[in-house]
Chain A
Amino acid sequence: NAGVTQTPKFQVLKTGQSMTLQCAQDMNHNSMYWYRQDPGMGLRLIYYSASEGTTDKGEVPNGYNVSRLNKREFSLRLESAAPSQTSVYFCASSEGPTGFYEQYFGPGTRLTVT
């Protein structure tokens, strides 16, 4: 049982390049999330998917797109990377709404945009 896995672990992009961060969970969870964490800060929600087939914006969605590919996988795409998107990206999943259910987090992807 791997929990939440993320690929890649590290990535360096040049400004304007695009990339997709991959996330998968094997806990049969309904809900999935993407966060970013800037140095010295708490996590901020980018997008979430309450259930397969739905996605919604979080606190900081600009510059990102997401795809809930199936129940297991939730990807985050940067179409044209900017230095302001240099951050650590975490994927998470939960059985249901956050208020009652806890979230399980992946190990993160460290992205640097130069």
Chain B
Amino acid sequence: DAKTTQPNSMESNEEEPVHLPCNHSTISGTDYIHWYRQLPSQGPEYVIHGLTSNVNNRMASLAIAEDRKSSTLILHRATLRDAAVYYCIPTTSGTYKYIFGTGTRLKVLA
């Protein structure tokens, strides 16, 4: 399983973009990169995932480095509701196991 390194915490001002980094230098060629977030007192919520190329959806964008050793989750305009713990999870295709680390706690300032 690929190991991940994420900052323990980050802060952002409301309505500004946020870039959440993740280092996964031991990722294998077939590992997808999944991002989840967990709002206070709730279960994790899927955000986005990708394999090689950048991905966009209504919640966020995922930028994957060309060597795939790192990725960045981009929230285009942070809102107070985006305050959560964000988890980056490399996952081998075909398995059923997520390895959650401790994630990045994002604080959004009004």
**Residues in A lying within 8 Å of B, measured CB to CB:** 4, 31, 33, 35, 40-45, 48, 50, 56, 58-59, 90, 92, 97-100, 102-108
Contact = CB atoms under 8 A, between A and B. Distances in A.
A12 to B, nearest CB: 18
Nearest to B49: A102
B96 A90 contact: no
A102 B98 CA distance: 10
Contact of B96 (A40, A98, A105): A98
B46 A103 contact: yes
A58 B97 contact: yes
Given A45-B98, A100-B32, A108-B41, 20 more contacts: A42-B101, A42-B102, A50-B96, A59-B97, A90-B43, A97-B94, A97-B96, A98-B91, A99-B30, A99-B31, A99-B92, A99-B94, A99-B95, A100-B93, A102-B46, A102-B49, A104-B46, A105-B44, A107-B42, A108-B43
Nearest to A105: B43
B21 to A, nearest CB: 17
Contacts of B32: 99-100
Contacts of B91: 98-99
Given A42-B103, A99-B93, A108 B98 contact: no
Nearest to A104: B46
B34 interface: yes
A72 to B, nearest CB: 18
Given A42-B87, A98-B91, A31 B96 contact: yes
A50 B96 CA distance: 7
A97 B98 CA distance: 10
